[in-house]
Every structure is written in structure tokens, then in C-alpha cells.
Copies of this chain bind each other. A is one copy, B any other.
Amino acid sequence: MSRAKAKKSNVDDYLRMYRQMARIRAFEDNANQLYLSAKMPGLTHMYSGEEAVAVGICEALRVTDKITSTHRGHGHCVAKGAEFKEMFCELLGKEEGYCRGKGGSMHIADQSNGNLGANAIVGGSMGIATGSAFTAKLLGKDDVTVCFFGDGATAQGLWYEVMNMAALWKLPVIYACENNGYSEYTRTDEIAAGSIVARAEAFGIESHQVDGQDVLAVNALTEKLVARARKGEGPFFVELKTYRYHGHHVGDINRDYYRSKDEEKDWKENRDPIIRFRSWLVEQGIANEAEIDAMNAEIADDAKAAVDYALAAKYPDSTEVDMHVYTDVKHALARGDAR
């Protein structure tokens, strides 16, 4: 772990960061298992390996601060405070899910914790995040919004449009690029000319790069930027170098043609954010191995209980199908129609 030294006063924070990272990993392991055992409808994208990014950032946020998330969104959702039960229910299309099963993995949102939602359009939330920051400014609130997106999303023109406006209007938004080296089956250097950081800087946006596997480094940087954004010194850009352990989605199993097993092994064994942070916690005397094992076991139990609950939970009633199309119309469709 980084050269950071633990501060006594922060012990709870450290443990919560560890817990949140471990919870994300546990969530993803279960989600993957649900897919592999054909219990989950559709596909989903695993966040495993990138936990320090979501946790390092979200731990620097208040509940009233907002985030926008991506197709690879479980990590952001957990990190911003969501519960396993409602999340697994959502992934399984159940009524008790965060979105009553209507959104699923790619649209999971948790507005109670300020998560404005995952998005299945790459880059699709860049405007939303910027607009959320616009609201804060217009209404005189000091909320900050973090916009998560991948390296691949930097190719979308929308980003440049909203960066321009965010910079012109000094909006309290932080663009957080999770550079995991790939977009789908393509390496970042094949799809990104020049420098991603320079692109943000060209709009006059202060930009940073940080090791996305080092939760303390991510958190420390974010704390600073969030504080400054609250004072109107935003926007900011942060590029976080990270890695996804799984394929692009759970079904992307044979991936030798675009990246080597050695590369995956190296990241997993030598740069895992959870292993690194665990060692640091022990080293600094914040927790011992047994305490951490106990925490992990508790998390595993929680996850399993939530999965079991979700598997048994009920689907939304078929009458829900035309509810929530409009806010003010209970059922959008006339019943007598011919389908």
C-alpha cells in the first residue's frame, strides 16, 4: 500500500472502506454465480478489481452528493450506500428491487443515496451528472456530483460538450474516468489518440491521475477535490488506472484473443485493491487477520442471505407493466387494447 500512514481518528473510516470494498467483491461473486447457474436474466458486467475506485471516491461523498454510474455499476451502487437485498432483487427482476425489477443491472439506481443510476448507453450519464451539478449551483446547494465512466466512454462527443459547459459555468462536478485498459474487447490505446488527461485540461479543467488500486490515494485526492468543488472551484477530472478481473460481461469467458491470462494474473495477484488494503490495515495495527476474516465472513453471509431472499422474492405483478411510464397516469395503456 501507499506510503500513507494511518491516522488514529480515521480507524472507523478505514474499516468502512475495507468493508465496502469487500462487499462489492462479494456482491459481484454472487452475481457472477447467479449468471453461471442460469438464475439471473440477461447479462451483467462485473466490477471486481475496481473496488478501490468506487469506494475511495464515494467515501469522500455525503449522502446528498450525487453520482452517476455506468453499465458496470454495482460497485458504485454499493459504495454509495445501497443494500444487498434490494440490489439482488433488482438483478433478478423482482418487485422489491430498487427499480421494482424494471431497470435491472444496467439501470440500477438508488436515489435515496444519491445514485442517479447506472446507464446502458456508454457516456449516457455525462450530461446527467453535469446537470445534477447544475442543479446544485442554481439552487445554491453545496452538493457535489461525481460522474463515473470508463476509458472507452472518453470517445463519446458528449463528454467534450459537457466539459465545456461545466468549465464555463464552474459546476461542482468531478469526472472520474475508470481506466481499466479496455473497452469491451479492445485495448484503450487502440481507441484513444493523444492523452485523455490533456483532453480535459484543454477545457481548462484541473486534472489528476491516481492509482485506482490504492483506496487511500483515491480517497485522499477525492476528499480534496470534493471540498474544493463545494466551494465552487470545480469542475475536476480524475483518471483512475484500474483493471477489471472478469470479461467485459459475465458471458465473456474466452478472452485470450484480446488479453493474456498473465496480465490478468499479474493484476489480481500483485495489485488487488482489497489484498493491498488488508495488508495495510494489519500492518498499521488497525485490524488483525482474524477480525478481517470475521468481517469477510459476515459479508459473505449477508450476501448469501440477500441472494436467497431475492431468489424467493416475487416478480412484479403483470399489471405493473404499464405503470411508471408517466408520473401522473397510473396505467399508461387503455386496458382494452389488442395485444
Contacts and interface: CB of A to CB of B under 8 A. Distances in A.
Interface of A: 155-161, 163-165, 167-168, 190-195, 198-199, 201-205
Most chain B beta-carbon neighbours within 10 Å: one of A191, A194, A205: A194
Contact of A156 (B157, B165, B194): B157
A123 to B, nearest CB: 9
A191 B203 contact: no
Q: How many of these chains are in the complex?
A: 2
Nearest to A123: B157
A171 to B, nearest CB: 11
A159 B158 CA distance: 10
A41 B103 CA distance: 50
A311 to B, nearest CB: 43
B155 A167 contact: no
Contacts of A201: 194, 198, 202
A201 B135 CA distance: 32
Given A156-B157, A160-B160, A164-B193, A202 B204 contact: no
B161 A157 contact: yes
A335 to B, nearest CB: 34
15 contacts: A155-B161, A155-B164, A156-B157, A157-B161, A160-B199, A163-B193, A164-B194, A167-B193, A167-B194, A193-B204, A194-B201, A194-B205, A195-B204, A199-B199, A199-B203
Question: Nearest 4 CB-CB pairs, A to B?
Answer: A157-B157, A194-B204, A167-B193, A198-B202
Contacts of A160: 157, 159-160, 199
Given A157-B160, A164-B191, 19 more contacts: A155-B161, A156-B157, A157-B157, A157-B158, A157-B161, A160-B160, A163-B193, A165-B193, A167-B193, A168-B193, A193-B204, A193-B205, A194-B201, A194-B203, A194-B204, A195-B204, A199-B203, A201-B202, A202-B202
Nearest to A166: B193
Contacts of A159: 157, 160
Contacts of A199: 160, 199, 202-203
Contacts of A192: 164
Contacts of A161: 155-157
A212 to B, nearest CB: 21
Contacts of A202: 194-195, 198-199, 201-202
Nearest to A170: B193
A237 to B, nearest CB: 12
A216 to B, nearest CB: 30
A195 B190 CA distance: 26
Nearest to A126: B157
